[in-house]
Amino acid sequence: MTTHATPRPGDPAITPALVAEHGITPDEYDRVVAMLGRTPTLTEIGIISALWSEHCSYKHSRPVLKTLPTQAPWVLQGPGENAGVIAIGDGLAVAFKIESHNHPSAVEPYQGAATGVGGILRDVFTMGARPIAMLNSLRFGSLDTPRVRYLVAGVVKGIGDYGNCVGIPTVAGDVMFDAAYEGNPLVNAMCVGLLREEELIRAKAEGVGNPIIAVGARTGRDGIHGASFASEDLSAETEAKRPRVQVGDPFTEKLLLEASLELIRSGHIVAIQDMGAAGLTSSSAEMAERGDVGVTIDTMKVPVREAGMTPYEILLSESQERMLVVATRGREAEVKAILAKWDLVAEVIGEVIAEPVYRVTEGDRVVAEFPGTRLVTDCPQYHPEARESDAAIERRTRDVAAIAEQPEEADPIWTLTRLLEAPTIASKRWIHRQYDSTVRTSTVAGPGHADAAVIRIRGTRKAIAVKTDCNGRYVYLDPRVGGRIAVAEAARNVACTGATPRAITNCLNFGNPKKPEVFFQFREAVYGMGDACRALETPVTGGNVSLYNENPQGAVYPTPTIGMVGVLDDAAHATRMTFTTPGDAILLLGEPREELGGSEYLAWIHGTVAGAPPACDLDAEKALIDAILEAIRAGHVRSAHDCSEGGLGVALAESCIADETHPLGAEVDLSAWPALSRRALLFGETQGRIIVSTSDADAVTAIATRHGVPVYRIGTVRLATDGLTVQVGASRWTAPLATLADAYHGAIPRAMSRAAAETVGTEGVA
Amino acid sequence: MTRFVVSVHIVPRQGLLDPQGKAVADSLRTLGFAGVRDVHVGRHVVLELDAADAASAERAVREMCSHLLANPVTEDFELAGVRPA
Amino acid sequence: MKVGVVSFPGSNCDEDALLAIVERLHESAVLLWHKDHDLQGADVVILPGGFSYGDYLRSGAIARFSPIMQEVVAHARRGGPVIGFCNGFQIACEAGLLPGALLRNVSLQFRSMPVTLRVETSQTVFTNAATAGARLTMPIAHGDGRFTADADTLTRLESEGQVVFRYVNAAGEPTEAANPNGSMRNIAGVCNPGGTVVGMMPHPERALEPLLGSTDGLVLFESLLASVKA
């Protein structure tokens, strides 16, 4: 069919330069012209630029993403909706999703991070779920630079101020520091919500004649083109784009949350979606596409904040705290009444129509018209070239065993202490004490206490465990292995609290996909994730792709962040990472190997990111998870802590000192592996290992053995005054806990105390 | 009735601990502004209102300050300007 | 006992307070909508935590003008118990139900962590079942918690026994290190002269279950129950 649209008086001519400015390639432009049978209007160019950006269209990533497993009996909603949903029993379900806000946070860390939190909250409550937990996965450059400290302070404050105000506990996450993220920090926010299965609602426009209603905040000029902005490399020019960044209003968000849940439960609406990236354009086009219906929208009816806004601006605005609702015809008054109760506005701005067309009018003038749902479905898909970079191969194959030890390393306590103060390993208390982690009175294990956060489900015995994870160094050195490890480690963390890993959401942070080495990383990492998700029975329920994470120095480490959700049938089984009782046996489940590649030890002590990352045996990981879960449920486990960055040495120290108020000592003998170098034994990051403390070593050993998991009794929990003693063969070292605790708990506060000069400008503490 | 624009400064009461002011002062000194003796950070509120004359606009805003805009326990306010809109 | 929990726009601990009364104390509780003028026969009013009206002007400043607050103030003037937690404490101060003000934390950062409190008086509706000197552990979660009052007010609060809680260390001493927000004299909670209105920055409603790490808030709610039933 042919479509009709009239340019507005004063619209610039559609020139190749204008098309290029909108990030549309000549080939893509030809597709648009073919689709329309005419030259597009400026408004249509704006719409295409937003919807065909990577952020909205996944045009480079979709073919690879399709290889991921997405199904399991407990999955109620897989990818393609605002959030994924899994059943947890008792008629209850959890909705969850992770999303990036990297570029906005690089430009304006406070508002960038805050609006990231706001967006992901809306994705979850538009499924009909009440948000119950927030997580954040953050990557920054080295804390030694003032710019990074400024970013850390602003991002943390932005996350805290938004989530604290809305009243959703921020309970877990992961934070890593590496120069590779300099200038392009990663800010990934995850939200988890709870709903009854029958309350699940999808963002699918249906029912000819049903009104389309804009709800919540008014539309302003902020954030116009945020979606295409998130699909460009960062540069000095981006700094000048500051006005595009949106400002968050958590108070309005809280009202919108309550109003939306009330709307969904009222039965007056058929669909609801956040006006997120690309605002009104993407929400309306995507809802129409899911329902395979036509829609018409009149921009003159959209409540605006500023006079004189054009349809182009109204369609592409990314003003925050707005929703698009498809209501049942005749219920407009009821919908408005619910919004009015929460002091919010609702205006009918369009309707679902029989005619297969996506139409935007400005009063009587048609300013954009696309046939059917082709605006969404005609977006080209690309299969970029993939080729591993020589630099990555060289780094992976480097002989890291040949790196000479520093003289101080003769005393492994020196090395351990230095690693405990590495910001990637050190306590993140400076960060999470700025997050309200106890609001909603359901936090069984909050940040810093367990390998994952545990949230009880009120009215049941159940709890869920949630965690984010990804080691981008591993992925850089070997994308396939790194992708597997990201999933396996998240699953292991969740299992250490006593929860069965159930499903993941992912946030795929990569560089420019048009570079063959980046697309290679992307493809292989996704394949690796798929391998692990299949082996561990944790399907992917959705997520987000963030490409073009680059700065003038190159791409960030490929960082496919995993957000894992697990279920505990009995919240009383929730298990922490710290030792609880002197005299308990300390067991190691799993086996150390000579693996130093990609380790924090090499990076922090030797300034080297090289070598093959540790191997990931997915069958062994599955057996380990099954074993730890059986041991926890049988009541034999007092603490469980996974070995990750910093290896066995750091994991043991953390089990001693992570709980500042109740430190305990330990005496450990690691003489069972004489063939291993001491540094690989203590600081290598071999996967598939958990440190368990127990009063019944025989019972745990029997369970592990039955699952085919190697198990060793390596020591005993001691009093705090005994310190941490490690014996390897004839050598024996003891560290006072105060020294270790000062390194671990003091490192980030000391680094950030230098940042005071940069933080005072950020407003809004209440 | 005429429309007036009235602006008000609201500052922490003299002598009260002002951590934000102190942090700004410290960082200014760090940046090399050695002469900075003291900093106080407050709020600047701009109101547009209709009133019979400037005096009654000012009176109304003073009342707003003592009721809502400033906290008499911890804050002082001063009218920074009254002008026709 | 019937407890009314006020829901302001932006309150986010109202449901927690309600569930504390219903699930832990097995007493009845209702949410009181900010636009209403009806306390629905509540014996006790709780002003819950959160960010009422976004706390955009000053924490608690706008909430005090909502319709329901007129009824809450009248209830308090009649001697009815009113308890404010966190933002509720800020609102009670702004409304003139309690002396002083809560300013931005001296660290300029939000603080979410467990603190230890020392009960300073058992002569209030919220502490009569506790012993003066007893130590309680419960979470705080606030950005504006620095209790501030002029010298005369502080002297009066101390001499009249209106300081209800102080932040203390494990040994029970009100040290600077134990003070999470820079409050004057480590004050964490105060009451009116009659001990019927109590405000505190910490969250006792988050410390009522072993599963959540502390049951130290129970004694406070039991006090409330005892004073209403008495």
Weakest mean pLDDT among A167-176, A560-569, A686-695, A745-754: A745-754
Average confidence (pLDDT) over A651-663: 96
pLDDT at residue A221 in the model: 81
Average confidence (pLDDT) over A545-569: 94
CA distance A452 to A575: 9
Six token digits for residue C139: 């979470």
Indicate the helix (H) or strand (E) that contains A110: helix A109-125
pLDDT at residue B13 in the model: 84
Weakest mean pLDDT among A111-125, A226-240, A303-317, A493-507: A226-240
Residues of chain C with Cβ-Cβ distance to A255 below 8 Å are: 9-10
Six token digits for residue B18: 């002002």
Contact C105 B19 (CB under 8 A): yes
CA distance B5 to B22: 31
CA nearest neighbour of C63 among C14, C30, C108: C14
Which residue bears the tokens 């449920």? A633
Residue A766: pLDDT above 50? no
pLDDT at residue A277 in the model: 77
CA distance A217 to A433: 30
Average confidence (pLDDT) over C148-166: 97
Per-residue pLDDT band for A759 (boundaries 50, 70, 90) equals very low
CA distance A22 to A306: 24
CA distance A484 to A259: 40
Six token digits for residue C91: 């609102």
Weakest mean pLDDT among A155-164, A424-433, A694-703, B19-28: B19-28
More confident residue, A234 or C69: C69
Contact B31 A759 (CB under 8 A): no
Domain boundaries B2-84, corresponding CATH code? 3.30.1280.10
Reported as a single tens digit per residue, the pLDDT across A246-257 is 888 999 999 999
Reported as a single tens digit per residue, the pLDDT across A505-521 is 999 999 999 999 999 99
pLDDT at residue A308 in the model: 85
Indicate the helix (H) or strand (E) that contains A345: strand A345-353
pLDDT at residue C88 in the model: 97
CA distance A83 to A323: 15
Cα→Cα distances C189→A218, A359, C151, Å: 40, 59, 17
Six token digits for residue A14: 């559609």
Weakest mean pLDDT among A62-71, A108-117, C55-64: C55-64
CA nearest neighbour of A219 among A322, A362, A100: A322
Reported as a single tens digit per residue, the pLDDT across C1-54 is 999 999 999 999 999 999 999 999 999 999 999 999 999 999 999 999 999 998
Average confidence (pLDDT) over A213-221: 90
What values do phi and psi take at A456, rounded to 5? -75, 155
Cβ pairs bridging A and B (under 8 Å): 13
Residues of chain A with Cβ-Cβ distance to C16 below 8 Å are: 439-441
pLDDT at residue A389 in the model: 96
Residue A225: pLDDT above 70? no
pLDDT at residue A764 in the model: 39
Cβ pairs bridging A and C (under 8 Å): 101
Reported as a single tens digit per residue, the pLDDT across A669-707 is 999 999 999 999 999 999 999 999 999 999 999 999 999
Mean pLDDT of chain A: 93
Up-side HSE of residue A51: CA atoms within 13 Å toward CB? 28
Pairing of strands A665-669, A453-456: unpaired
What values do phi and psi take at A365, rounded to 5? -85, 125
Each residue of A675-692: b (16+ CB within 10 Å) or e? ebebbbbbbbbbbbbbbb
More confident residue, A532 or A13: A532
Each residue of A517-537: b (16+ CB within 10 Å) or e? bbbbbbbbbbbbbbbbbebbb
Catalytic residue among C13, C27, C34, C86: C86
Residue A1: pLDDT above 70? no
Per-residue pLDDT band for B7 (boundaries 50, 70, 90) equals very high
CA nearest neighbour of C209 among A171, A495, A440, A566: A440
SS (H, E, C) A290-323: HHCCEEEEEHHHCCECCCCCCHHHHHHCCCCCEE
How many angstroms separate the CA of residue A760 from the nearest CA in chain B?
6
Per-residue pLDDT band for A632 (boundaries 50, 70, 90) equals very high
Reported as a single tens digit per residue, the pLDDT across A414-472 is 999 999 999 999 999 999 999 999 999 999 999 999 999 999 999 999 999 999 999 99
Per-residue pLDDT band for A27 (boundaries 50, 70, 90) equals very high
CA nearest neighbour of A586 among A714, A704, A699: A714
Question: What is the pTM assigned to this prediction?
Answer: 0.94
More confident residue, A203 or A708: A708
Per-residue pLDDT band for A756 (boundaries 50, 70, 90) equals low
- Range list of H helices, A509-603: 516-536, 600
Average confidence (pLDDT) over A300-318: 89
Mutate which: A257, A262, A436, vs C, most C CBs within 10 A:
A436
pLDDT at residue A229 in the model: 52
Residue C113's domain spans which residues? 2-229
Which residue bears the tokens 């696309």? A370
What values do phi and psi take at C78, rounded to 5? -80, 0
Catalytic-residue membership of A662? no
Burial grade of A308 (CB within 10 A; 0-12, 13-18, 19 or more)? exposed
Here the CATH number for the domain that contains residue C123 is 3.40.50.880
pLDDT at residue A54 in the model: 83
Here the ipTM equals 0.97
Contact C19 A438 (CB under 8 A): no
Burial grade of A389 (CB within 10 A; 0-12, 13-18, 19 or more)? middle
Mutate which: B20, B26, B27, vs A, most A CBs within 10 A:
B27
Per-residue pLDDT band for A244 (boundaries 50, 70, 90) equals low
Contact A757 B27 (CB under 8 A): yes
CA nearest neighbour of C98 among C30, C40, C35, C148: C148
Per-residue pLDDT band for A234 (boundaries 50, 70, 90) equals low
Six token digits for residue A664: 């305990």
Residues of chain C with Cβ-Cβ distance to B14 below 8 Å are: none
Residue C175: pLDDT above 80? yes
Catalytic residue among C34, C75, C142, C203: C203
CA distance A402 to A688: 25
pLDDT at residue A666 in the model: 98
pLDDT at residue A762 in the model: 41
Using DSSP's 3-state secondary structure scheme, residue A636 falls into coil
Local structure of residue A624 (DSSP, 8 states): H
Which residue bears the tokens 């003073």? B62
Reported as a single tens digit per residue, the pLDDT across A713-741 is 999 999 999 999 999 999 999 999 999 99
> Which residue is closest to B45 within chain C, CA to CA?
C57
Neighbouring subunits of C (3+ Cβ pairs under 8 A): A, B
SS (H, E, C) chain C: CEEEEEECCCECCHHHHHHHHHHHCCCEEEEEECCCCCCCCCCEEEECCECHHHHCCCCCCCHHHCHHHHHHHHHHHCCCCEEEECHHHHHHHHCCCCCCEEECCCCCCCEEEEEEEEECCCCCCCCCCCCCCCEEEEEEEECCCEEECCHHHHHHHHHCCCEEEEEECCCCCCCCCCCCCCCHHHEEEEECCCCCEEEECCCHHHCCEHHHCECCCHHHHHHHHHHHHC
Beta strands in A510-655 (DSSP E): 540-546, 550-551, 554-555, 559-568, 585-589, 639-642
Using DSSP's 3-state secondary structure scheme, residue A184 falls into coil
Which residues have a Cβ under 8 Å from the Cβ of C213 and sit 6 or more positions away? C114, C207
What values do phi and psi take at A498, rounded to 5? 105, 10
* Residue A561 identity: T
Per-residue pLDDT band for A765 (boundaries 50, 70, 90) equals very low
Residue B15: pLDDT above 80? no
CA distance A346 to A271: 15
Q: Which residues share a beta bridge with A31?
A: none
- Count of the separate structural domains present in chain C: 1
Residues of chain A with Cβ-Cβ distance to B27 below 8 Å are: 756-758, 760
CA nearest neighbour of B76 among B20, B16, B25: B16
Reported as a single tens digit per residue, the pLDDT across C82-140 is 999 999 999 999 999 999 999 999 999 999 999 999 999 999 999 999 999 999 999 99
pLDDT at residue C130 in the model: 97
* Residues 5-34 of chain B whose Cβ lies under 8 A from any Cβ of chain C: 16-17, 19-20, 23
Other C-beta atoms closer than 10 Å to the C-beta of A363 total: 11
Cα first-last separation, chain B: 12
Average confidence (pLDDT) over B51-63: 94
- Angle made by CA atoms C50, C53, C56, in degrees to the nearest 5: 100
Q: DSSP letters of A598-610?
A: T-HIIIIIH----
Contact status, residue A320 vs residue A216, Cβ threshold 8 Å: no
pLDDT at residue A761 in the model: 43
Q: Is A766 on the interface with B (CB under 8 A)?
A: no
What values do phi and psi take at C140, rounded to 5? -115, 160
Cα→Cα distances C121→A6, A353, C153, Å: 76, 68, 18
CA A396 remoteness from chain centre: 27
Using DSSP's 3-state secondary structure scheme, residue A727 falls into strand
CA distance A128 to A590: 41
To the nearest whole percent, how much of chain A has pLDDT over 90? 82
Indicate the helix (H) or strand (E) that contains A445: strand A443-445
CA distance C58 to A615: 55
Which residues have a Cβ under 8 Å from the Cβ of B2 and sit 6 or more positions away? B50, B51, B52, B53, B84, B85
Residue A647 region, left (φ>0) first, then alpha (ψ -120 to 50), else beta? left
- Angle made by CA atoms A639, A74, A706, in degrees to the nearest 5: 45
For chain B, domain boundaries: 2-84
Mean pLDDT of chain C: 96
Per-residue pLDDT band for A328 (boundaries 50, 70, 90) equals very high
Cα→Cα distances A684→A404, A472, A689, Å: 15, 17, 11
